[in-house]
Amino acid sequence: MNTDTRALYDQFVMPTYGRFDLTIERGAGCRVWTEDGRELIDFGAGIAVCSLGHAHPRITTAIADQAAKLVHTSNLYRTRQQAVLAEKLVGLIELPGKIFFCNSGAEANEGLIKLARKFGSATERHEILTFKNSFHGRTMAGISATGQDKVKAGFAPLLDGFQHLPINDLDAVRAAIGPKTVAILLEPIQGEGGIRLAKPEFLTGLRELCDAHNLLLLFDEVQCGLGRTGDWRGWKSIVPQGVEPDGISWAKGIANGFPLGGFWVGARSLDDRGPLCDLLGPGMHGTTYGGNSVACAAGLAVLGEIEEKGLLAHTRESGKYFAEALRALNSPLVAEVRALGLMIGLELVADFKEQIASTDARPPSLVLTTLLMDNGLLVIPAGEKTIRFLPPLNIERADIDAAVGILARVLAPAARTT
Ligand code: PLP
């Protein structure tokens, strides 16, 4: 066997990702080690996935114990872990409803889109309003829903019935609602789009419009949900009261890296059609692996740890501390810091590359991400000009200080190596 991992990738793994030149071998907490022995601070957490950091003993034990008992049965049968995780999630979000489990964020959104289609079928409505710069996954429905042209190029014809509107523009939404409109789907905090927050009055207005026109309000909380903002419900970090969605999708942080996704549907009554959460009935939706007992055991351990260790409050406090430290850098290279809990975006100035005299042809976000990586810090680019910090929710101040220190050094004129 070839001992050069990169060479094996080049020969045998499809080139669908713009990968960084790093082969990671192991992790512990917010640190990872590469095959060639380098240590890095990981403030990407696998793109907001490893909420409790790498190799967390509680999660490792939960996965190992369950794997020793039962891994998979298919959804032809019940398992205790799936039932208990569903109950736990409904309890944590404090909204009556039911859950469908799948394996990823794209699949969770696919389910919400099918829910909307089924809901609208009685009145011959199928159009879903989504937003510019959004990201909803890489399936055909996911890229059709996504408000970014780059994910769609070359894959026409896309799924019919999506419009992409400017976020925080209620008039645009009002004008777009027509006789075929059935739902509004949005990320309350856009992640891939650069940590862009919906405004409280926008979310409240969307709920009112949905009520007035009998539309479903669907939140994609794949990245911002389940604790990342310091609340189980990402949107509640923006608008604490009065906005309840009809559906929510999750994945990423739900099981610390063990593949698991899901979507919640509310229990509101559709009169003759029963509760909304029973609309997708037997045979209408499914997946072989979704919610298997190991994934659900991992999910239960993650949610239990966040709850018992008070990590929501810790996330809110750590996020404030971190965002303040970033703003205090006062770097002329930074245009803005946008933050909610531990979902933090740092937008670079338009002439970032000119200012640092970089000859790198890639967008500024990739240039800075690579510079930080070379200096021992992993972050995630978001769009052309923003980098994201998505550290584990149990991050400690010393690690935040270390990350800010690396950023400060990289942004400081004397330390630049381009
Ligand atoms: N929705 C949002 C908001 C996301 O950030 C992502 C992934 O980045 C997805 C959906 C797709 O999730 P997955 O990659 O697990 O399919």
Q: Could you give the residue ranges of the DSSP H alpha helices within 214-331?
A: 293-308, 311-328
Give the span between the Cα atoms of 418 and 416, in whole angstroms.
6
Q: Which helix (H) or strand (E) holds 183?
A: strand 181-186
Give the span between the Cα atoms of 320 and 323, in whole angstroms.
5
Closest of 92, 54, 123 to residue 303, by C-alpha: 92
Cβ 130 under 6 angstroms from ligand 1:
no
- Strands 380-382 and 97-102 come out as unpaired
pLDDT, position 271: 84
* Atom of ligand 1 lying closest to residue 137 CA: 11
Give the residue, by CA position, lying nearest to ligand 1 atom 12. Answer: 105
pLDDT, position 301: 98
What phi-psi label fits residue 161: left (phi over 0), alpha (psi between -120 and 50 degrees) or beta?
A: left
Within this chain, do residues 161 and 277 fall inside the same structural domain, yes or no?
A: yes
- What the block records as the tokens of 143 is 């890229």
CA 54 to chain centre: 18
Q: Of 263, 290, 308, at which residue does a domain stop?
A: 308
> For tokens 């979310």, what's the residue?
203
Within this chain, do residues 124 and 250 fall inside the same structural domain, yes or no?
A: yes
pTM: 0.97
Q: Which helix (H) or strand (E) holds 196?
A: strand 196-197
Task: State the distance from the centre of ligand 1 to the C-alpha of 20, rounded, in angstroms.
Answer: 19
Within this chain, do residues 65 and 51 fall inside the same structural domain, yes or no?
A: no
Give the residue, by CA position, lying nearest to ligand 1 atom 5. Answer: 223
* Atom of ligand 1 lying closest to residue 134 CA: 3
* Atom of ligand 1 lying closest to residue 106 CA: 16
Angle, vertex CA 219, rays to CA 217 and CA 222, nearest 5: 165
Within this chain, do residues 254 and 303 fall inside the same structural domain, yes or no?
A: yes
Type of residue numbered 203: L
Within this chain, do residues 125 and 166 fall inside the same structural domain, yes or no?
A: yes
Give the chain's radius of gyration (CA, Å). Answer: 21
Cβ 135 under 6 angstroms from ligand 1:
yes
Give the span between the Cα atoms of 63 and 372, in whole angstroms.
33
Task: State the distance from the centre of ligand 1 to the C-alpha of 191, rounded, in angstroms.
Answer: 9
Q: What is the CATH number of the domain that holds 72?
A: 3.40.640.10
* Atom of ligand 1 lying closest to residue 251 CA: 15
Closest of 327, 299, 305 to residue 394, by C-alpha: 305
Exposure on the CB side of residue 124, measured as CA atoms within 13 A? 1
Q: Of 257, 274, 308, at which residue does a domain stop?
A: 308
Cβ 187 under 6 angstroms from ligand 1:
yes
pLDDT, position 193: 96
Give the span between the Cα atoms of 17 and 211, in whole angstroms.
41
What is the DSSP track for 106-147?
A: HHHHHHHHHHHHHHHHTTT--EEEEEBT----SSHHHHHH-B
Q: What is the CATH number of the domain that holds 19?
A: 3.90.1150.10
Q: Which domain holds residue 151?
A: 59-308
Phi, psi of 40 (to 5 degrees): -130, 150
Within this chain, do residues 241 and 270 fall inside the same structural domain, yes or no?
A: yes
Give the span between the Cα atoms of 263 and 249, in whole angstroms.
4
pLDDT, position 279: 98
- What the block records as the tokens of 299 is 């999910």
Query: By the 8 A CB rule, do 265 and 277 touch?
Result: yes
CA 342 to chain centre: 12
Closest of 156, 148, 268, 280 to residue 217, by C-alpha: 268
The total of structural domains in the chain comes to 2
Within this chain, do residues 392 and 324 fall inside the same structural domain, yes or no?
A: yes
Query: By the 8 A CB rule, do 132 and 147 touch?
Result: yes
Q: Of 280, 308, 336, at which residue does a domain stop?
A: 308
Within this chain, do residues 262 and 318 fall inside the same structural domain, yes or no?
A: no
pLDDT, position 414: 46
Within this chain, do residues 144 and 212 fall inside the same structural domain, yes or no?
A: yes
Within this chain, do residues 186 and 223 fall inside the same structural domain, yes or no?
A: yes
Mutation choice for ligand 1 from 16, 219, 223, CB with most ligand atoms inside 8 A: 223
DSSP state, residue 76:
T
pLDDT, position 372: 98
- What the block records as the tokens of 93 is 């979000």
What is the DSSP track for 248-259?
A: EEE-GGGTTTS-
Task: State the distance from the centre of ligand 1 to the C-alpha of 49, rounded, in angstroms.
Answer: 10
Work out the widest C-alpha separation in the chain, in whole angstroms: 70
DSSP state, residue 302:
H
Type of residue numbered 358: S
Within this chain, do residues 13 and 29 fall inside the same structural domain, yes or no?
A: yes
Burial class of residue 137, CB neighbours in 10 A (0-12, 13-18, 19+): buried
Cβ neighbours of 374 (radius 10 Å): 15
Cβ 229 under 6 angstroms from ligand 1:
no
pLDDT in 10s for each residue of the chain, 418 residues: 788 999 999 999 999 999 999 999 999 999 999 999 999 999 999 999 999 999 999 999 999 999 999 999 999 999 999 999 999 999 999 999 999 999 999 999 999 999 999 999 999 999 999 999 999 999 999 999 999 999 999 999 999 999 999 999 999 999 999 999 999 999 999 999 999 999 999 999 999 999 999 999 999 999 999 999 999 999 999 999 999 999 999 999 999 999 999 999 999 999 888 999 999 999 999 999 999 999 999 999 999 999 999 999 999 999 999 999 999 999 999 999 999 999 999 999 999 999 999 999 999 999 999 999 999 999 999 999 999 999 999 999 999 999 999 999 999 974 455 5
Within this chain, do residues 316 and 300 fall inside the same structural domain, yes or no?
A: no
